[in-house]
Structure 1
Amino acid sequence: MKYTTEIIIEKPLEYVINKMDSTDNMKHWQEGLVSAEHISGTPGEFGAKMKLNYDFGKRKMELIETITKQNFPSEFHATYTTKGMRNIQQNYFESIEENHTRWICKNEFQPTNFVMNAMLFLMPRAFKKQTKTYMKNFKNFVENGTSTANA
């Protein structure tokens, strides 16, 4: 399943990228994030791997992020793998007017087992909704300092 989501952030591109390019900031906009642990490579650069642990109440999830392209301020691409699913994500950032940044997020979800294939088929909106939620949370964090940590 492939889809594209975009959002306009009312802050300059450099400010947005500064917030995006920080592991410490992830907890402020990625609800459920419990920990982010560097595994290999140079943090933030091509090929770097990081383990992300999430807790959504009854459901816990571990993702491995692998950076496939880091060309800030314009692009950041990564692959996220977890049990049964791979997400190939391409993020594009551009300054569109004074103090405004467009963030375009392209996702491709690839199920790697039958259960996740069925989930993707039966609940495609849930994946899109999660992406939109994280993007809105990031926008609120950047524009207003609103954090989802300890929410």
Structure 2
Amino acid sequence: MKTIKIILGIITALVLAFLATGLLVKETNYTAQVSVNKPIKEVFKTFNKTENIKNWIPEVKSFEIVNNNPGKTGSIYKIVVDNQGQEIEMTEKVIAYVENQKVTLFFDAENMLKTDDYVFTEKNGITTITLNSSCQSDSYIMACMFPYFKGTFQEQDQTYLNNFKAFVEK
């Protein structure tokens, strides 16, 4: 009987720690970076050409323009991705666009609200793309989980940046 109480006590403590995560951590932030051996103008143009996205994010099944503003800021796109056999529909909104300097995108994908801030810099003909990302959730349980998946999110975005580098440098 004593063993059962100890096990239940440990399980209760773990559940409470998990649920406290959602109260203490409101957003999950991380950074990814890649250097591309091309000038900034070419890299920025290729990065922002919507028909190219499938070349570095292979999970994208479709990319549809909902609203395309002339200055890009405020443009809205509908994206369908294949997540391990399950189709997820998300909305992407361009919230900042400064040519050859930065692009900030906001994604609403069911229970995940994500902001990706891409900063472009050039030194000696080599362009560095730095991604500052922030994830939140409108679901409490998902908000509890995100901090534990920070490494996975970062690894996935780093893979996408590496794929982009390979695509641009071919």
Q: What TM-score, normalized by structure 1, do the two folds share?
A: 0.88
Asked if residue 12 in structure 1 is aligned to residue 39 in structure 2, the reply is: yes
Q: How does 1:64-79 map to 2 (within 5 A)?
A: 64-79=91-106
Asked if residue 121 in structure 1 is aligned to residue 143 in structure 2, the reply is: no
Shift of 1:115: 3.6
Q: 1:133 to 1:44 in 2, by over 3 A?
A: farther
Q: Distance in 1 between matches of 2:127 and 2:109?
A: 30
Q: Distance in 2 between matches of 1:70 and 1:94?
A: 14
Shift of 1:41: 4.1
Q: How does 1:1-150 map to 2 (within 5 A)?
A: 1-42=28-69, 45-98=72-125, 100-144=126-170
Q: How many residues align?
A: 143
Q: Which amino acid aligns with 1:113?
A: S
Does the CA contact (< 8 Å) of 2:94 and 2:105 recur in 1?
yes
Identity %: 24
Shift of 1:59: 2.4
Q: What TM-score, normalized by structure 2, do the two folds share?
A: 0.79
Q: Distance in 2 between matches of 1:43 and 1:4?
A: 29
Q: Distance in 2 between matches of 1:112 and 1:44?
A: 30
Name stretches of at least 5 consecutive residues in structure 1 with no aligned partner: 145-151
Shift of 1:39: 1.0
Whichever structure has more strand as a proportion of its residues is 1
Does the CA contact (< 8 Å) of 2:30 and 2:150 recur in 1?
no
- If you compute each CA radius of gyration, which structure gives the higher value, 1 or 2? 2
Q: Secondary structure at the match of 2:73?
A: coil
Shift of 1:56: 2.9
Q: 1:64 to 1:106 in 2, by over 3 A?
A: same
Name stretches of at least 5 consecutive residues in structure 2 with no aligned partner: 1-27
User: CA RMSD, aligned part only?
Assistant: 1.4
Q: Which amino acid aligns with 1:12?
A: P
Whichever structure has more helix as a proportion of its residues is 2
